[in-house]
Structure 1
Amino acid sequence: MPRPETGDRFDDDDYPAYTVGAAADMIGATPAFLRALGEARLIEPLRSEGGHRRYSRYQLRIAARARELVDQGTPIESACRIIILEDQLEEALRINEELRGSKPSG
């Protein structure tokens, strides 16, 4: 199987490029916070061949949003639920917009 070009990985939001330490530094949190998000099933990091957690940019954006909510005093379980509901709402709005755009004018 051919390996993706390196440049493709830089553009891929889902590529698990960041170790737990680097990811925690990027969002201003601790590795324990990222592990808690995994335990709450908000984000599930991929594992390297050695079994180490790896995070994507997409996952880091979600983790950063969770950190914002927790920093505002929201319990982590509630923050995770809020983010899941926000994501579901965004998807529902996108689908609704697509369906409205596909109706014939008349």
Structure 2
Amino acid sequence: MIPDQQDTAGTSAADKFDDEHYPAYTMGRAAEMLGTSAGFLRSLDEAKLIEPQRSAGGHRRYSRHQLRIAARVRELVDQGTALDAACRIITLEDQLHEAQRVIAERDDQP
């Protein structure tokens, strides 16, 4: 059996496959997967909805989690919602889900 190689932070390569926040996708690949343009992804970064990590060369890298958020915005935009409104809707939905999670967690405590 070959042991997993680890990076300098002690994270193995196998762990990265399961990490939905690992920035594995280039801008080009992310845009291709979403069926959108690089400009659309840049606009989400400018709106501070998605802040991709940067490679050593300064290139944007996106995680699966970020791509799911971008897909949600894309769906709203495709339905005719303005980009800034779509970003606000996604932000508010996420805040609502987090508040509901906290309330449910608190209600479960004795």
Q: Which residue identity lines up with residue 74 of structure 2 in the other structure?
A: R
Q: In the superposition, relative to structure 1, how do residues 2 and 45 fare at CA in structure 2: closer, same or farther (>3 Å)? A: closer
Counterparts of 2:29 and 2:93 in 1: how far apart (Å)? 26
Counterparts of 1:7 and 1:30 in 2: how far apart (Å)? 30
Higher relative contact order (CA 8 A, sep 6+): 1
Counterparts of 1:3 and 1:54 in 2: how far apart (Å)? 20
Partner SS for 1:54: strand
Counterparts of 1:2 and 1:88 in 2: how far apart (Å)? 31
Q: How many residues align?
A: 103
- Shift of residue 20, structure 1, vs aligned partner: 0.2
TM-score by length of 1: 0.94
Structure 2 residues without counterparts, runs of 5 or longer: 1-7
- Shift of residue 32, structure 1, vs aligned partner: 0.4
Q: How does 1:1-106 map to 2 (within 5 A)?
A: 1-102=8-109, 104=110
Q: In the superposition, relative to structure 1, how do residues 51 and 97 fare at CA in structure 2: closer, same or farther (>3 Å)? A: same
Q: Which residue identity lines up with residue 55 of structure 2 in the other structure?
A: S
- Shift of residue 30, structure 1, vs aligned partner: 0.6
- Shift of residue 2, structure 1, vs aligned partner: 4.5
* Moved >4 Å (runs of 4+): none
Counterparts of 2:82 and 2:9 in 1: how far apart (Å)? 44
**Alignment RMSD (CA, Å):** 0.9
- Shift of residue 27, structure 1, vs aligned partner: 1.1
Q: Which residue identity lines up with residue 78 of structure 1 in the other structure?
A: A
Structure 1 residues without counterparts, runs of 5 or longer: none
